[in-house]
């Protein structure tokens, strides 16, 4: 291999003569060429595309296609690339184009970036991979028993074809098919053959924990050997991880940051931080209060990354380092959507963003994808969110503002005293105005949906003329926006002043936190405007207001793009080589047309290569009894009587089945009321496990171990639960 700066043999003699003549004709100025190269990287042809000055020439975008090389000369004879050259080379490489620099006589060539060559993949043996799930396969041997699931093997075969040839698959698999093994076995086989990762995205935490805590460890044992051991990782969003730097700050400032009744909770988290392995919310023995976790969780806009003194021990970045080396990375749809948003904003499809780069994707529980994408690609603001955001500033004499003020009181420099005065005279009054105005506005909005069945109202163009504006919404919305702007102005002034003067590490971290809250206040203002009184023009959106919260006493405003199909097609399905969408509920009457239209997979140019349904192997007629009580009082008319009747039904069934029950609710309020009543009616005969009293994985583990427990849960227990 010739050295890059001494590679004349890489240019064919006739081409070398042509290049030198063109540069001479331009009197030695810079000239840009597009060159053709053979498989060994030798320049076999060239054409002139631009002429410039003695020190620069246009690097025209799009003149060179994949497999070609853009060349230009350096008249001074020094072929080392400039900073501009390196930037151009990086952009060209992303488009499959090489980049090189030649001398005026074309006798020397410096190749900055070789022409990217399409990667070749080793094809999987479909029969061999599917056999791993057969009667004599490695999975059956590791299980010690075999249960024939033809649908599982058929689904696996379709996945193998998609890994080999690419494409998008729609695979509906009924309960009991064993779809997780059907897609994990091909994913691991592909990783072994080609060293390429697969991202598996789910909707529920329960399924994530099953994949990482049960299925993948088992397959690692069953499929691995002395030459290869598969690796896997679970990635969660920023706020799921404890931030050691924020924890240290919160412990040091707890008396001004948190209410006294939260001190023990913070101390407990600090103790847990020293023994936890992953540092995630799900590993905590008991769920923390939102106020405490807000002060110690990892946040992307608060993180100094590698400059942080805790970077080497950081739970968040440790998880990402593990994921970067994993064969299978398990995430949820929210994290996947966040990754797509970052990649779209940065036009980055090759390097790590929120997730490591990937070309193979499995979407389990795929029927939730559209709703999750809408929540991330749209905008949303809630009364609870604004209240918590303002509470970060100050709540009952605690919060960021009182903590910073105490820090400034201990300082004797002029900037600190001036900033302290500004916070007393403008920030705290502005905060009170924002809190009062937002509460009034959200109360009025709550009245709009309080009596609507379902608690949801579409905000169409006619909403501009609704009497609610004259009744006070105009005044209240303006008051909120003005108060939030006042807060932003004060925070900007204070942070700008303090960053110029003497500062401690604690003060700088407090300023960083204040700036983060400032950015979120700006987002609140934009979302309020976009949902309540959007400007004319722009992309079509759907806007609505709805009752939310466990008691139905909160309000959420939302605005999402009217049609997500082209967005998902562009950002997701056109970027990956293999995408498999699977769920127990993808088709409608055997037809996949509806979900295809919603996700951008319909039309003559549809990338879908496979549409299959695999029925459940369960014998429902003989193994399932389905009953609907028709004598329960309507909860909308008599809530108390409905609760009494519900508790009686659950108690009767518990005695009939000797426990071993899931009791699933659609509201947390009903769950708590039923839990209190069931503790009395069952008399402690069976273990009663209640969502919210322990982490989900702990409840499921105790449910499996007990054998006869009664578990009460809401939406997160409706899907993806393996017991």
Q: CA-CA distance, 22 to 31, in Å (whole number)? A: 8
| pLDDT at residue 7 tops 60 | no
pLDDT at 2: 41
Task: Name the residue among 697, 614, 600 with its Cα closest to residue 369.
Answer: 600
> Pick the residue with more confidence: 283 or 125?
125
Of 313, 307, 291, nearest in space to 243 by CA: 313
Locate 102 and state its tokens.
């030649």
Report how far residue 276's alpha carbon sits from residue 90's, in angstroms, rounded to the nearest whole number.
41
Q: Give the chain's mean pLDDT.
A: 88
Mean pLDDT of 46-52: 91
Q: For residue 122, count CB atoms less than 10 angstroms from its CB and return exposed for 0-12, middle for 13-18, buried for 19 or more.
A: exposed
Sign of CA dihedral 690, 693, 694, 695: positive
**177 Rama class: left (phi>0) / alpha (psi -120 to 50) / beta:** alpha
Average pLDDT of the segment spanning 371-400: 85
pLDDT in tens, 616-651: 999 989 988 888 888 899 887 888 899 999 999 999
Quickly state the pLDDT bin for 123 (edges 50, 70, 90). very high
Instruction: Output the CA torsion 197→198→201→206 (10° steps).
Output: -80
pLDDT above 90 (res 104): yes
H or E element in which residue 233 lies: strand 232-234
At 1, the pLDDT band (50, 70, 90 cuts) reads very low
At a CB cut-off of 8 Å and minimum separation 6, what does 414 contact? Answer: 501
SS3 539: coil
Query: Is residue 609 over pLDDT 70?
Result: yes
pLDDT at res. 61: 67
pLDDT, mean of residues 158-176: 95
Query: How many angstroms separate the CA atoms of 38 and 210, rounded?
Result: 49
Q: Are 535 and 541 in contact (CB under 8 A)?
A: no
Q: How many Å apart are CA 182 and CA 151, to the nearest integer? A: 9
Q: How far apart are CA 614 and CA 567, in angstroms?
A: 29
- Round to whole Å and give the CA distance between 480 and 528: 9
Side-chain half-sphere exposure of 128, counting CA atoms within 13 A: 8
Q: Average pLDDT for residues 397-403, to the nearest whole number?
A: 82
Q: Is the pLDDT of residue 592 over 90?
A: yes
Which of 41-45, 201-205, 351-355, 455-459 shows the lowest mean pLDDT across its residues? Answer: 351-355
> Contact 576/361 with Cβ under 8 angstroms?
yes
Is the pLDDT at 688 greater than 90, yes or no? yes
List strand residue ranges (DSSP E) for 415-533, in order.
Answer: 456-458
pLDDT higher at 722 or 618: 618
**pLDDT for the residue 441:** 94
How sure is the predictor about 241, in pLDDT bands with cuts at 50, 70 and 90? very high
Kindly tell me if the per-residue pLDDT of 244 is higher than 60. Answer: yes
pLDDT score at 598 = 92
> Which H helix or E strand runs over 547?
strand 541-548
687/98 Cα distance (integer angstroms): 66
pLDDT computed for residue 560 by the predictor: 87
Number of Cα atoms under 13 Å in the Cβ half of residue 234: 23
Question: Which residues, in sequence order, are CB contacts of 301 under 8 Å at separation 6+?
Answer: 515, 516, 519
Position 657 scores a pLDDT of 92
Position 122 pLDDT exceeds 70: yes
Token pair for residue 46?
């060239």
The whole-number average pLDDT for the span 447-458 is: 85
For 109-146, what is the HEC assignment?
A: EEEEECCCCCCCCCCCCHHHHHHCCCCCCHHHHHHCCC
Alpha carbon distance 49, 653 (integer Å):
81
CA dist., res. 501 & res. 539, Å (int) = 45
What's the CA gap between 345 and 354, in Å, rounded? 12
Where does the pLDDT of residue 574 fall: very low under 50, low under 70, confident under 90, or very high at 90 and above?
very high
């Amino acid at each position: 291999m010739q050295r890059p700066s001494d590679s004349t043999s890489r240019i064919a003699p006739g081409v070398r003569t042509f290049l030198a003549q063109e540069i001479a004709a331009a009197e030695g100025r810079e000239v840009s060429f597009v060159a053709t190269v053979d498989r060994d990287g030798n320049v076999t042809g060239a054409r002139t595309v631009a002429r410039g000055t003695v020190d620069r020439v246009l690097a025209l975008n799009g003149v060179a296609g994949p497999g070609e090389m853009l060349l230009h000369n350096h008249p001074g004879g020094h072929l080392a690339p400039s900073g501009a050259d390196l930037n151009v080379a990086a952009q060209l490489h992303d488009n499959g184009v090489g980049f090189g620099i030649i001398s005026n006589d074309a006798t020397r060539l410096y190749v900055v970036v070789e022409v990217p060559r399409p990667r070749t993949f080793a094809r999987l043996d479909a029969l061999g991979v599917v056999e791993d799930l057969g009667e004599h396969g490695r999975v059956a041997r590791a299980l010690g028993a075999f249960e024939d699931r033809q649908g599982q093997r058929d689904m696996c075969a379709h996945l193998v074809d998609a890994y080999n040839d690419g494409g998008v698959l729609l695979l509906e698999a009924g309960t009991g098919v064993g779809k997780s093994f059907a897609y994990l076995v091909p994913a691991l086989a592909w990783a072994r053959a080609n060293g390429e990762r697969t991202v598996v995205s789910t909707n529920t935490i329960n399924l994530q924990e099953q994949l990482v805590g049960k299925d993948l460890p088992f397959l690692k044992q069953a499929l691995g050997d002395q030459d290869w051991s598969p690796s896997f990782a679970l990635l969660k969003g920023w706020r799921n991880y404890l931030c050691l730097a924020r924890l240290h700050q919160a412990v040091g400032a707890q008396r001004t940051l948190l209410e006294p009744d939260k001190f023990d909770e913070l101390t407990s988290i600090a103790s847990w931080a020293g023994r936890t392995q992953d540092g995630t919310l799900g590993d905590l023995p008991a769920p923390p209060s939102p106020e405490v976790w807000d002060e110690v969780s990892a946040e992307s806009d608060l993180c100094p990354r590698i400059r942080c003194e805790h970077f080497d021990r950081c739970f968040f970045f440790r998880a990402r380092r593990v994921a970067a080396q994993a064969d299978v990375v398990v995430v949820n749809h929210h994290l996947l959507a966040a990754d797509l948003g970052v990649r779209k904003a940065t036009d980055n499809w090759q390097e790590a963003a929120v997730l490591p780069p990937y070309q193979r994707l499995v979407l389990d529980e795929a029927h939730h994808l559209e709703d999750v994408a809408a929540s991330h690609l749209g905008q949303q603001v809630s009364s609870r969110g604004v209240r918590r955001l303002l509470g970060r500033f100050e709540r009952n004499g605690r919060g960021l503002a009182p903590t910073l003020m105490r820090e400034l009181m201990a300082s004797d420099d002029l900037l600190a005293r001036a900033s302290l005065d500004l916070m007393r005279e403008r920030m705290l009054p502005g905060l009170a105005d924002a809190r009062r105005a937002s509460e009034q506005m959200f109360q009025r909005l709550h009245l709009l949906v309080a009596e609507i069945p379902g608690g949801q109202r579409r905000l169409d163009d006619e909403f501009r003329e609704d009497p609610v504006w004259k009744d006070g919404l105009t005044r209240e919305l303006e008051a909120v926006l003005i108060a939030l702007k006042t807060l932003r102005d004060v925070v900007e002034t204070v942070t700008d002043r303090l960053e110029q003067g003497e500062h401690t590490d604690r003060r700088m971290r407090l300023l960083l936190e204040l700036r983060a809250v400032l950015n979120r206040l700006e987002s609140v203002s934009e979302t309020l405007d976009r949902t309540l009184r959007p400007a004319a023009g722009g992309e079509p959106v759907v806007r609505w207001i709805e009752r939310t919260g466990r008691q139905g006493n909160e309000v959420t405003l939302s605005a999402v793009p009217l049609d997500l199909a082209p967005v998902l097609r562009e950002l997701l399905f056109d970027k990956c080589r293999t995408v498999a969408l699977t769920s127990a509920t993808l088709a409608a009457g055997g037809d996949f047309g509806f979900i295809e239209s919603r996700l951008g997979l319909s039309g003559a140019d549809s990338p879908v290569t496979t549409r299959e349904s695999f029925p459940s192997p369960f014998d429902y007629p003989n193994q399932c009894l389905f009953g609907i009580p028709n004598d329960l009082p309507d909860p909308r008319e008599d809530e108390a009587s409905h609760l009494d009747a519900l508790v009686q039904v659950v108690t009767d069934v518990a005695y009939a089945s000797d426990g071993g029950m899931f009791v699933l609710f659609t509201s947390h309020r009903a769950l708590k009321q039923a839990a209190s009543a069931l503790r009395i009616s069952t008399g402690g005969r069976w273990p009663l496990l209640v969502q919210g009293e322990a982490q989900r994985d702990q409840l499921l583990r105790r449910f499996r171990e007990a054998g006869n427990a009664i578990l009460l849960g809401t939406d997160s227990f409706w899907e993806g639960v393996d017991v």
